[in-house]
Structure 1
């Protein structure tokens, strides 16, 4: 089989099965695992897969830069944001993570809602300026421009000194094997710090993130209250998550 044919075969497996197991592919094609791994390295370099031990997983479209992500699945993000905003109670304290779905949550909060919002996202803080009864606490640190959020040691330390009823957390990938993931190590650490300070943590996961993976794990599924998603309940990944006991909150 030519290299181009192997490439198409691997991409087909990724689309059909949601994963590539190098050992199985090598056996099926009668080639060495080293050849498969080389092919996967090439695909990963092109941003077409996310390499993991023993194979590869689908790459998340949410790893694009902030401006590009704003145009990805806006209707799905709005559905997820609406379901998440409905969880915010008057008088409550909310930790709102950064990202385009979290920004949609901010826009859907009732303008007269009395609450406290803790965020490390300048864009979300600005979006809440028109909410006169919402107290906004901005956590500072080094701005990670890819996601327009503050990260680093100063931001993590600031997060450790707050507490909230609810945390709405963004991720770039939701996969049964890889877990809840994102594309930057410091951002993953910041998300863990935020989630640790809330009584309940809900993950914002529009359909394009389901079944995909990014390099850095944020949290195990048992550390969150539920995953909010607009993906079809019959999606095989959601069925597997449900079978494994992961709570899912539909966003119709």
Structure 2
């Protein structure tokens, strides 16, 4: 089997199974583990997979600007956002960071909601303009234009004085073993602080982000309270159930 053919098979297996172990792949393709490791290293350099200690994970969706992401899987994001409404009650203090799924969530909030919403996302703050009984607290900092959120030491320090009933976390990548991760260390630090100041954390995750990993870990998945997703198979659901996460799919 040619190297290019073998590497294409590896990518196809990973796309179907979401995670591969080097030793298992060696047996399945009848080549040495050293050969598999070289393949994984090359595929990782090409950005086709993400190497981890024992094998590889899928690469998550490409990191693109906020406006572009608004038009990707918008119908699915709306469905996830509607499911999240079951966890929203009047008089809650809700912390919401950036993300197009989170923006869809805000768009689904009833105009009669009475709550306090804290956010570091200008688009989300603006989307709450017509919610007369929602107090909106905008957290300052340096605007990270790609994600349209404020980040930095000012953002983290502002969060020190806040406590939320529920944190709606925007998710880039999630794996039940490795945790929740993002490409940017600045976003990781702010999101980690948001988890720490909130009683519960909810994440709405499209299926292309499941079993993927990025460079900066925010927290273990066990710190999630609710995971709202789509097309989750029994194997993955069990992994989250074992961490006492309420999975809605």
TM-score of the two chains, using structure 2 as the length reference: 0.90
Q: How does 1:91-240 map to 2 (within 5 A)?
A: 91-229=91-229, 231-240=230-239
3-state SS, counterpart of residue 167 of structure 1: strand
Structure 2: segments with no counterpart, 5+ residues: none
How many aligned positions are there? Answer: 248
Shift in alpha-carbon separation, 1:158–1:113, aligned structure 2, 3 A: same
Structure 2 match to 1:63: 63
3-state SS, counterpart of residue 63 of structure 1: coil
Deviates more, 1:202-211 or 1:147-156: 202-211
CA distance in 1, matches of 2:144, 2:13: 34
Structure 1 match to 2:87: 87
Shift in alpha-carbon separation, 1:107–1:232, aligned structure 2, 3 A: same
> Given that residues 50 and 215 in structure 1 are in contact (C-alpha distance below 8 angstroms), is that contact kept between their aligned partners in structure 2?
no
Deviates more, 1:198-207 or 1:35-44: 35-44
CA distance in 1, matches of 2:108, 2:32: 53
Distance apart, 1:235 and its partner CA: 4.6
Distance apart, 1:219 and its partner CA: 1.6
3-state SS, counterpart of residue 83 of structure 1: helix
Distance apart, 1:32 and its partner CA: 5.2
3-state SS, counterpart of residue 44 of structure 1: helix
> Given that residues 221 and 246 in structure 1 are in contact (C-alpha distance below 8 angstroms), is that contact kept between their aligned partners in structure 2?
no
CA distance in 2, matches of 1:36, 1:195: 38
> Given that residues 226 and 248 in structure 2 are in contact (C-alpha distance below 8 angstroms), is that contact kept between their aligned partners in structure 1?
no
Distance apart, 1:119 and its partner CA: 0.4
Structure 1: segments with no counterpart, 5+ residues: none
CA distance in 1, matches of 2:24, 2:3: 17
Distance apart, 1:38 and its partner CA: 3.7
Shift in alpha-carbon separation, 1:143–1:41, aligned structure 2, 3 A: farther
CA distance in 2, matches of 1:41, 1:68: 30
Structure 1 match to 2:247: 249
| Cα offsets for 1:206-231 (capped at 9, x unmatched) | 222222222222221222212122x2
Distance apart, 1:24 and its partner CA: 3.7
Distance apart, 1:40 and its partner CA: 2.5
> Given that residues 174 and 221 in structure 2 are in contact (C-alpha distance below 8 angstroms), is that contact kept between their aligned partners in structure 1?
no
CA distance in 1, matches of 2:225, 2:89: 16
Distance apart, 1:99 and its partner CA: 0.3
Structure 1 match to 2:30: 29
Distance apart, 1:246 and its partner CA: 3.7
Structure 2 match to 1:11: 11
CA distance in 2, matches of 1:62, 1:98: 16
TM-score of the two chains, using structure 1 as the length reference: 0.89
Distance apart, 1:45 and its partner CA: 3.4
Shift in alpha-carbon separation, 1:151–1:138, aligned structure 2, 3 A: same
3-state SS, counterpart of residue 60 of structure 1: coil
